[in-house]
Structure 1
Amino acid sequence: MSLLRGARERWVRTGGIELCVAEMGDPDRPTVVLVHGYPDSKEVWSEVARRLADRFHVVLYDVRGHGRSTAPVPLRGGFTLEKLTDDFLAVADAVSRDRPVHLVGHDWGSVQGWEFATVGRTRGRIASFTSMSGPSLDHFGHWMKERVARPTPRRVGQVLGQGARSWYVYLLHTPVLPELAWRGPLGKRWPGLLRRVEKVPTDGYPTGSLPQDAARGAWLYRDNVRSRMLRPRPDAYAHVPVQLITPTGDAFLSERLYDDLSRWAPRLVRRTLPVKHWVPRTRPDQLAAWIAEFVTAHEEGGAALPPAVVSGRRYADRFGGQLVVVTGAAGGIGRATALAFAEAGARVVAVDRDAEGAARTADQALRAGAPGAWPEVVDVGDEQAMEKLAARVAAEYGTVDVLVNNAGIGLSGSFFDTTADDWRKVLDVNLLGVVHGCRFFGRQMVERGQGGHIVNTASAAAFQPTRLLPAYGASKAAVLMLSESLRAELAGRGIGVTAICPGFVNTGITATARFAGVPEVEERRLRKRTAGLYARRNYPPEKVAAAILRAVAENRPLVPVTPEARAAHLLSRFAPGALRALARVRPPL
């Protein structure tokens, strides 16, 4: 069964080769041409193409010698970048003669794309280029030459590191052996390897032509790599806007290869994804969103790109377009976190039981640069409501990339004044609310199989005992241990878990905190006094939000945020007796 259901096929003849071309979507809309890599065929793009076809005219073709396209005779010399450029121009003329096309390439499709985007004869035929997992061989050659000519320990390490990653390139230059391997055991085992190593869904992919495609495709390397690396073109400047998508877990290409890329591509947008090499199969949802955004922007003069991307804001390359759910988002740390992710170009779901507050946060997130923001009203302690929320978010917006379990309530008072009902209320929100979020959204991340990140807001009270916070401290200590345990369980699935431990942060939690065992009048006085103390401390929630983004980007397990939280954490590790002594002191309330 074809993976490109509903596609229209045609054959394009060029230089004695017949290329199999598939088209999806309305031909009157902007044309997006997807070029596959090695050892793939056009079907590698099936999931991306399906997601783009309702907005664009999507074109996929089997590179010569792959899939249903014919191969040159002889193979040697038949796969040069010059001939591959001829093929691309023939396809572009056939499918979009009067308008430039938007080019997208992965792996060797991206290597080809860089050639198409930098040679003079394609000028005016390409509107934009999205590159992933494949550098320009010319840029790569200059990168190597500059590091060899001016060696430093860092540069030598970069060259050696990329040399080790390129082990397969040397093997593909050997005569006969690659062909024998691909037509023999490697061709049979390749789908299983992709499943185990890259976590690639392989239903119907790769296609049955894989052994033949891979054997012929070895000439892509033999015909181009050595000559371009030794004699890179000095004029390999992109004459189109370029979007670079870098999988940070790519086993074959170092991120350092792209350090100098803005020199060669002046109109450059960078994105990163914490995934491995085969992004078109593992994250078609995110790729389709970024491709659509980039294409639309350059069809409309750049206006559709989020401000975070245009301005190069911090973390825009990491979180742009990703889906982030934040609970307790109506105010304080939750609102600040939702807005920080929005400023980085993420799509945000603002969750709170305060409907008006959640709506305000969603509205502010849109104004801050989020390409999408939606309010959701839920009590996180309600298990069934959280399960329905997770299902609704997945159906309407997709699988969550980052979950921030931030909702919480405060409770102060002695242990014997804290009733069983008090305990239930605190644990329902502070602990079970986190459990519900981790269970329902975390399971979606696991089932997708492409990683993600969970942030749980604990507290300095998780490791700093005090006589006045037995219930609150116990709930936050449980969140901390839950986070550590969950991090261990999910590590092998590429899902990070972080416990954030703020200290005294100026948020609205003090205005709603409860004080057990005191009359209502006294409780109001204590709230007002506590809120005043936090206001005088005046540590803003925006600093906690910044720490959360940094923790996700760096996959940190535990982040004490404020100076007092960091001090308490150090004491808990190296001088716990001092903390126990401090816990006996009654604060002057």
Structure 2
Amino acid sequence: MTLAGARERRVRTGGVELCVAEWGDPAAQPTVVLVHGYPDSKEVWSEVAGRLAERFHVVLYDVRGHGRSTAPRPLRGGFTLEKLTDDFLAVVDAVSPDRPVHLVGHDWGSVQAWEFTTVERTRGRIASFTSMSGPSLDHFGHWIKKRVSRPTPRKVGQLLGQGAKSWYVYLLHTPVLPELAWRGPLGRQWPKILRRLERIPAGDYPTSSLPRDAANGAWLYRDNIRPRLGRPRGDAYAHAPVQLITPLGDAYLSERLYDELEQWAPRLVRRTLPAKHWIPRTRPDQVAAWITEFVTSTEGGRPEPAVSGPHAGRFGGQLVLVTGAGSGIGRATAFAFAEAGARVVAVDRDAESAARTAELSRLAGAPEAWAETVDVSDEQAMEQLAAKVAAEYGVVDVLVNNAGIGLSGSFLDTTVEDWRNVLDVNLWGVIHGCRLFGKQMADRGQGGHIVNTASAAAYLPSKALPAYSTSKAAVLMLSECLRAELAGQGIGVSAICPGFVNTAITSTARFTGVDAEEEKRRRKRSARLYGLRNYPPEKVAEAVVRAVVRNQAVVPVTVEARGGRLMSRFAPRALRAIARMEPPL
């Protein structure tokens, strides 16, 4: 997605000429202004802008000295926050003279935008502000002073941690060397560095103006860092609602910088994202979804997310795919992520059930939800599903391999076909999901999470469940192996091990070695026993969400599952004795 189709204009202010690109109708749509960071140009926003342009009047501009905007002369003193505020006001007066704008900033664009949102002369011109990877220098200055004046081991550790992350700031204050590096080898290698470290896909970014932009932009640091950190303003309060999006893997900024932000931005919405620094390029779907939600809610008079569950800041806008989502644990899990604001792909072999789950997920809070029909045991069908999801919805952030079938009966009564059926769904279905969607997560390079539904039967031997228990034990070990392999790529893997949960699996489970009448009787009895236990699938869904948030390895859910897990470790002989007992059927 490029800037093709944008209207371009020039805005003159303070001796410079700014290049401004815009889409949409300012008279009919809210205006969203995107401000880029360092060493970027407005093209860093191209993926996000294209998505926002479907609903808003979108404006990008090259900050002075960057992209196709001219640089001040002399450079020294030409990049102060006061002059950057003049530029911003000139742009918004040109593109939206009669209505306040919704402001979005990344990196130094966010540093500037904090200034715009907290100075008195912009009051009434900003409807909302979304901040990404760039603190207010005034807030940062107060943060430092608070820790220096009242040091504790924890506060000193925070100072040292952020000091280490800010190594590049010291280098940019040295004379001449940054300019030589950017106009020389660093400028030539920067696109490769971004692709290697941040996994930024190739495209229209960075532009050919990068070496000049980076050399000029060094004055952003020199003109502002020391004055503001040394003498931070005491009145830097936000006069508009603020949405803070914090990438948890940001190599340059600590999460702790925002610990006291509520005192400066009382109307604050926090979001976190398991990603690195350049999220406008690596997570455009997520970023655009959160901006859209925040702008829409602010325009509607409620500057808080429409979804406000306990994990809305963690999963809002993320893409979650759940297999076996047509009923039971799968449907409850889809709803749990929908309530947290995630976009949901409900997958089931029953098309009608999948469609119903998607419909209810939208009602539960999912900004978008889709139904897909597939048999998880079908390798080619799963490959087609993975390709379609990546092309139409994006790379999955959370994969829940939940589809499964039940099978009961002695080993000698279990046919080869029975074994093939249960392993194809319970094990191969999980393998297909992990292989296909896990590879997409790894290729993206921004982490993710895989949840595999195993069972307490994975570690509780039973003479009545040899095939089912074997399939679930394999899922458990597969999850442990994958967790070790993918940890270095920021991809978590969890195995969920429920016990007796009241779902429809009892009505579809097969019983080997008996006739149809006896199988029907056993199904009814199993359903009655599970109903008496009455452990709801919603509690398993809650455990799934917690497992992702906490990155837990193995999660026994029910009391019997937790007790069985302990016995498998500390009293295996007792479990083997229990396994010889006849089941209550």
Fold shared by both chains (TM-score > 0.5): yes
3-state SS in 1 of match to 2:128? strand
Query: Which residue of 420, 424, 427 maps to 1:428?
Result: 424
Query: Which residue of 565, 579, 585 maps to 1:583?
Result: 579
Alignment of 1:52-63 (within 5 A): 52-63=52-63
1:223 aligns with 2:219: no
Q: CA deviation at 1:106?
A: 0.3
Tell me which moved more, 425-434 or 248-257: 425-434
Separation in 1, partners of 2:46, 2:344: 27
Cα RMSD of the aligned pairs, angstroms, is 2.1
Per-residue CA deviation, residues 45-68 of structure 1 (Å, 9 max, x unaligned), is 111122222322221111111122
Query: Which residue of 416, 422, 438 maps to 1:442?
Result: 438
Counterpart contact for 2:245–2:271, Cα < 8 Å = yes
Q: CA deviation at 1:377?
A: 3.1
Query: Which residue of 476, 483, 499 maps to 2:472?
Result: 476
Counterpart contact for 1:306–1:371, Cα < 8 Å = no
Q: CA deviation at 1:252?
A: 0.8
Q: CA deviation at 1:475?
A: 0.9
Residue 19 of structure 1 is matched in structure 2 by 18
1:289 aligns with 2:289: yes
Alignment of 1:275-354 (within 5 A): 275-302=275-302, 307-308=306-307, 311=308, 313-354=309-350
Tell me which moved more, 335-344 or 201-210: 201-210
1:401 aligns with 2:397: yes
Q: CA deviation at 1:363?
A: 3.0
Separation in 1, partners of 2:110, 2:510: 58
Per-residue CA deviation, residues 296-326 of structure 1 (Å, 9 max, x unaligned), is 22233349x7532xx3x21101111112111
Counterpart contact for 1:403–1:454, Cα < 8 Å = yes
Separation in 1, partners of 2:505, 2:48: 44
1:180 aligns with 2:180: yes
Counterpart contact for 2:37–2:107, Cα < 8 Å = yes
Query: Which residue of 547, 551, 554 maps to 1:551?
Result: 547
Separation in 2, partners of 1:299, 1:349: 28
Counterpart contact for 1:9–1:23, Cα < 8 Å = yes
Counterpart contact for 2:243–2:268, Cα < 8 Å = yes
- Tell me which amino acid in the other structure corresponds to 2:22: E
Q: CA deviation at 1:84?
A: 0.5
Residue 210 of structure 1 is matched in structure 2 by 210
Separation in 1, partners of 2:180, 2:170: 16
Residue 6 of structure 2 is matched in structure 1 by 7
Separation in 2, partners of 1:370, 1:306: 12
Separation in 2, partners of 1:584, 1:242: 62
Which TM-score applies when normalising by structure 1? 0.94
Residue 157 of structure 1 is matched in structure 2 by 157
Alignment of 1:457-536 (within 5 A): 457-536=453-532
Residue 89 of structure 1 is matched in structure 2 by 89
Residue 139 of structure 1 is matched in structure 2 by 139
Q: CA deviation at 1:575?
A: 4.4
Counterpart contact for 1:413–1:515, Cα < 8 Å = yes
Structure 2 unmatched runs, 5+: none
Separation in 2, partners of 1:307, 1:65: 39
Query: Which residue of 555, 561, 567 maps to 1:565?
Result: 561
Residue 376 of structure 1 is matched in structure 2 by 372
Q: CA deviation at 1:154?
A: 2.2
Counterpart contact for 2:326–2:350, Cα < 8 Å = yes
Counterpart contact for 1:464–1:579, Cα < 8 Å = yes
Separation in 2, partners of 1:567, 1:170: 55
Counterpart contact for 2:297–2:306, Cα < 8 Å = no
Separation in 2, partners of 1:257, 1:319: 22
Tell me which moved more, 258-267 or 447-456: 447-456
Per-residue CA deviation, residues 544-573 of structure 1 (Å, 9 max, x unaligned), is 111111111222232222233233333434
3-state SS in 2 of match to 1:86? helix
Counterpart contact for 2:449–2:548, Cα < 8 Å = yes
- Tell me which amino acid in the other structure corresponds to 1:24: W
Counterpart contact for 2:447–2:491, Cα < 8 Å = yes
Separation in 1, partners of 2:570, 2:182: 57
3-state SS in 2 of match to 1:499? strand
Tell me which moved more, 470-479 or 208-217: 208-217
Residue 168 of structure 2 is matched in structure 1 by 168
1:49 aligns with 2:45: no
Separation in 2, partners of 1:404, 1:234: 48
Q: CA deviation at 1:376?
A: 3.0
Counterpart contact for 1:306–1:370, Cα < 8 Å = no
Separation in 1, partners of 2:279, 2:11: 28
Separation in 2, partners of 1:377, 1:207: 42
Counterpart contact for 2:297–2:305, Cα < 8 Å = no
Separation in 1, partners of 2:294, 2:446: 23
Residue 387 of structure 2 is matched in structure 1 by 391
1:365 aligns with 2:361: yes
3-state SS in 2 of match to 1:276? coil
Which TM-score applies when normalising by structure 2? 0.95
1:537 aligns with 2:536: no
Identity between Structure 1 and Structure 2 (%) = 78
Separation in 1, partners of 2:464, 2:361: 36
Q: CA deviation at 1:499?
A: 1.5
Per-residue CA deviation, residues 497-536 of structure 1 (Å, 9 max, x unaligned), is 2221112222221222222112333323322332233233
Tell me which moved more, 576-585 or 92-101: 576-585
Residue 200 of structure 1 is matched in structure 2 by 200
3-state SS in 2 of match to 1:390? helix
Q: CA deviation at 1:35?
A: 0.7
Counterpart contact for 1:452–1:496, Cα < 8 Å = yes
Q: CA deviation at 1:87?
A: 0.5
3-state SS in 2 of match to 1:307? coil
Q: CA deviation at 1:27?
A: 4.2
Q: CA deviation at 1:447?
A: 4.0
Per-residue CA deviation, residues 151-206 of structure 1 (Å, 9 max, x unaligned), is 33322222221122111112222222222322232222222211111111243422
Separation in 1, partners of 2:25, 2:484: 47
- Tell me which amino acid in the other structure corresponds to 1:7: A
3-state SS in 1 of match to 2:501? coil
3-state SS in 1 of match to 2:426? helix
Q: CA deviation at 1:249?
A: 0.3
Separation in 1, partners of 2:34, 2:416: 61
- Tell me which amino acid in the other structure corresponds to 2:394: G
Residue 238 of structure 1 is matched in structure 2 by 238
For the structure 1 residues 326 and 36, does the alpha-carbon distance in structure 2 shift closer, same or farther, using more than 3 Å as the test? same
3-state SS in 1 of match to 2:412? helix
Separation in 2, partners of 1:294, 1:546: 26
Counterpart contact for 1:306–1:369, Cα < 8 Å = no
Tell me which moved more, 42-51 or 482-491: 482-491
Separation in 1, partners of 2:55, 2:204: 25
3-state SS in 1 of match to 2:525? helix
- Tell me which amino acid in the other structure corresponds to 1:293: E
Counterpart contact for 1:506–1:534, Cα < 8 Å = yes
Separation in 1, partners of 2:578, 2:195: 53
Counterpart contact for 2:199–2:444, Cα < 8 Å = no
Per-residue CA deviation, residues 74-105 of structure 1 (Å, 9 max, x unaligned), is 22211111110001001111111122111110
Runs of 4+ residues over 6 Å off in structure 1: none
For the structure 1 residues 216 and 164, does the alpha-carbon distance in structure 2 shift closer, same or farther, using more than 3 Å as the test? same
Q: CA deviation at 1:331?
A: 2.1
Separation in 2, partners of 1:318, 1:325: 16
Tell me which moved more, 392-401 or 417-426: 392-401
